[in-house]
Amino acid sequence: MSPDHLIWISLALPLLAVGLIVLFGKSPDLRDGASGTVAGLLLIVVASLSIGVFSGKRPEWHLGEMLPGFEIAFRVEPLGMLFALVASGLWILTTAYAVGYMRGHHEIHQTRFFACFAIAIFAALSAAFSANLFTLFVAYEVMTISTYPLVTHHGTDEAKRGGRIYLGILLSTSIAFFMLAIVWTWSLAGTLDFQLGGILSTAVAENRISQTGLGVLIGLFTFGIGKAALMPFHRWLPAAMVAPTPVSALLHAVAVVKVGVFSVMKVCVYIFGLELLRETGVSLYLAYVAGFTLVVASLVAMTKDNLKARLAYSTIGQLAYITLGAMLATPNSVIGGGMHIAMHAVGKITLFFCAGAIYVAAHKKNISDMEGLGRKMPFTFAAFLIASVSIIGLPPGGGAWSKWFLALGTVETHQYLLTAALMVSSLLNIAYLVPIPMRAFMKPSKSEDESESETGNWFSNMQEAPAMCVVPLCVTAIGSVVLFFAAQWIYQALLPITAMPS
């Protein structure tokens, strides 16, 4: 099948899933089965698409003009392909996990939940494959709206408050800044197509925009893409943690936040062009904002006792790594940023899965209550440890490579302050992640039923979450190690985006 067809098939599959989920809403088994099957099919389609893309093909599919001159079109390039692979791959695991979690928890409105979920995946893929800013923006907003019901799933006052912050920040930054930046770009370049080397160089050469103007424009983009959670527009992410854990896992480790940083990278690479950014240095101040964000977010994470809140702030910090890479605009830093999209996604989803599994099995949300829990849930906490290693950036976790390239980027551009920020942040990562599994394994449990749990062999003492929860998190933990060895392959795949336009 030609790659062009694969694009629309991969976009149609999540929508098909929405249809099936709503259709089978009455019988949960059929519904969840359909959802999982479609997710599997999607991965196959996306994977076969990726073979062509990574060997240099650029399949395209044009849906049509929404307005004269503004087209909904898709064109797959390596960065988007990588993102699509990550998103569709993790969708399967999350579906399996969500089934276990939602049933274990007897959550309400499961049909609505899975339907919105599939729409969010659809939006993620549309954004990944988008051929121009217009399409990207539409997909971005569809994702914001479709995830709102997920965030407010519980319908409590807390959920309402969280949803308000979530929607408020994401919608207002995207309308007030992102949309403005897009139209501004359009008025400068006359097109919104993503092109290697950027589309603004003519406007700059003709002096239609000053250096300051460029700086403001890229600022509008970076802050306007609120999903990248750059400070001070990061508050939505912790607020969104009121959602059920599978939502936090997929959406706030993979789909939503990664759409954010992915868009930032895409804007830097295909709208501004790395060369333009390097020559003018207009994006450097944003690199410092990102550096500030990653240190401060790590510091804040240390103060959080609620596990999901800690992970949320950790995510903010890790996203800033990717933004930092994009803003430095050297080949190494951009590849590092792109890699980190994948590495962090796999690592962070594991951590969220673990948080959910702990909640399902032991009903514990706070880190201080988890001491000694490691003996009851060895798989979960082992996975947690492995994923932490990857997030921190230590071998053999995948994160080691991405952080290495990012650090290279800071050194290449002689921004040693940023190098220092990266290092400090990595130390802080260790400080806020590693103690969690350590204390779970080492410290004795505080609970009273300890005496009985000490008897018998370790296996019979296990009180793990349902298998549907534990298996996915083990898979992703292994995945984050596998990525360490697959880094060369990702590097090769991403190399074309740093090339000069020929």
Partner 1 sequence: MIDAIFAHLPILLIVLPLMAAPCCVLVGNGRAAYLLALVVSFAAFACSVAMLGETLQHHVVRYELGNWSPPYGIEYRVDIFSGFVMAFVSGIGAIVLVYAPLSVRDEIPASKHYLFYATYLLCMTGLLGMCVTGDLFNVFVFLEISSLSSYALISLGRTRRAPLAAFQYLILGSIGATFILIGIGLLYQMTGTLNMADIAARVPHEHGPRTVLVAFAFLTVGLCVKMAVFPLHTWLPNAYTYAPSVVTCFIAATATKVSVYAFVRLIFGIITPGFAFDVLPLDTELMLFSLVGIFIASIAAIYQNNVKRLLAYSSVAQIGYMLLGISMATPTGLSAGIVHMFNHALIKGGLFMVAGCFALRLGSVQLSDWKGAGRTMPLTAIAWAIGGLALIGVPMTAGFISKWLLLTSAFETGRWPIAVLMLVSSLLAVVYVWKVVETLFFSEPSEAAAGATEAPLRMLIPTYLLIGATLLFGVWTPYSAGIARQAAIVLLGGTP
Identify whether the C-beta of residue 130 lies closer than 8 Å to the C-beta of residue 259.
no
CB of 108 vs partner 1, minimal distance in Å: 11
Record the tokens describing residue 46, joined without a space.
């996306």
Asked if 145 is part of the footprint of partner 1 (rule: CB under 8 A), the reply reads yes
Asked if 12 is part of the footprint of partner 1 (rule: CB under 8 A), the reply reads no
411 sits in which H/E element = helix 399-412
- Residue 72 vs 297, nearer CB to partner 1: 72
Please give the backbone phi and psi of residue 233, each rounded to the nearest 5 degrees, phi first.
-105, 45
Identify whether the C-beta of residue 246 lies closer than 8 Å to the C-beta of residue 102.
yes
Give the C-alpha separation, 77 to 57, whole Å: 8
Q: 447 burial class (0-12, 13-18, 19+ CB within 10 angstroms)?
A: middle
* Interface pick for partner 1 out of 22, 41, 176, 430 (rule CB under 8 A): 176
Give the C-alpha separation, 267 to 198, whole Å: 8
Asked if 22 is part of the footprint of partner 1 (rule: CB under 8 A), the reply reads no
Give the C-alpha separation, 395 to 262, whole Å: 25
CB of 281 vs partner 1, minimal distance in Å: 24
Which parts of 201-240 interact with partner 1 (CB under 8 A)? none
- Residue 170 vs 282, nearer CB to partner 1: 170
- Residue 267 vs 494, nearer CB to partner 1: 267
Asked if 107 is part of the footprint of partner 1 (rule: CB under 8 A), the reply reads no
Asked if 299 is part of the footprint of partner 1 (rule: CB under 8 A), the reply reads no
CB of 326 vs partner 1, minimal distance in Å: 24
Asked if 404 is part of the footprint of partner 1 (rule: CB under 8 A), the reply reads no
- Residue 156 vs 303, nearer CB to partner 1: 156
The mark string for 429-468 relative to partner 1 (x by CB under 8 A, - otherwise) is ----------------------------------------
384 sits in which H/E element = helix 378-392
Give the C-alpha separation, 168 to 174, whole Å: 10
Record the tokens describing residue 302, joined without a space.
């240390």
CB of 359 vs partner 1, minimal distance in Å: 23
CB of 236 vs partner 1, minimal distance in Å: 14
- Residue 66 vs 442, nearer CB to partner 1: 66
- Return the range that interacts with partner 1 (CB under 8 A); candidates 180-188, 240-248, 339-347, 401-409: 180-188
* Interface pick for partner 1 out of 16, 180, 196, 474 (rule CB under 8 A): 180
Cα R_g (the chain), whole angstroms: 22
CB of 186 vs partner 1, minimal distance in Å: 7
* Interface pick for partner 1 out of 187, 202, 366, 492 (rule CB under 8 A): 187
CB of 180 vs partner 1, minimal distance in Å: 6
Asked if 142 is part of the footprint of partner 1 (rule: CB under 8 A), the reply reads yes
Asked if 137 is part of the footprint of partner 1 (rule: CB under 8 A), the reply reads yes
Give the C-alpha separation, 15 to 37, whole Å: 13
Record the tokens describing residue 457, joined without a space.
């062999």
Identify whether the C-beta of residue 321 lies closer than 8 Å to the C-beta of residue 294.
yes
Nearest of 443, 476, 244 to residue 355 by alpha carbon: 244
Identify whether the C-beta of residue 322 lies closer than 8 Å to the C-beta of residue 265.
yes
- By residue count, the chain amounts to 502
Which parts of 41-80 interact with partner 1 (CB under 8 A)? 66-68, 70, 72
Between the alpha carbon of residue 253 and those of residues 137, 391, 399, 485, the distances in Å are 20, 12, 14, 22
**Number of residues lying near partner 1 (CB under 8 A):** 30
Give the C-alpha separation, 482 to 217, whole Å: 39
The mark string for 154-173 relative to partner 1 (x by CB under 8 A, - otherwise) is -xxx-xx--xx--xx--xx-
Record the tokens describing residue 336, joined without a space.
């590092």
What are the residues whose beta carbons fall under 8 Å from the beta carbon of 4, sequence distance 6 or more? 59, 60, 61
CB of 255 vs partner 1, minimal distance in Å: 17
Asked if 141 is part of the footprint of partner 1 (rule: CB under 8 A), the reply reads yes
CB of 66 vs partner 1, minimal distance in Å: 6
- Residue 115 vs 494, nearer CB to partner 1: 115
Residues near partner 1 (CB under 8 A): 66-68, 70, 72, 137-138, 141-142, 145, 152, 155-157, 159-160, 163-164, 167-168, 171-172, 175-176, 179-180, 183-184, 186-187
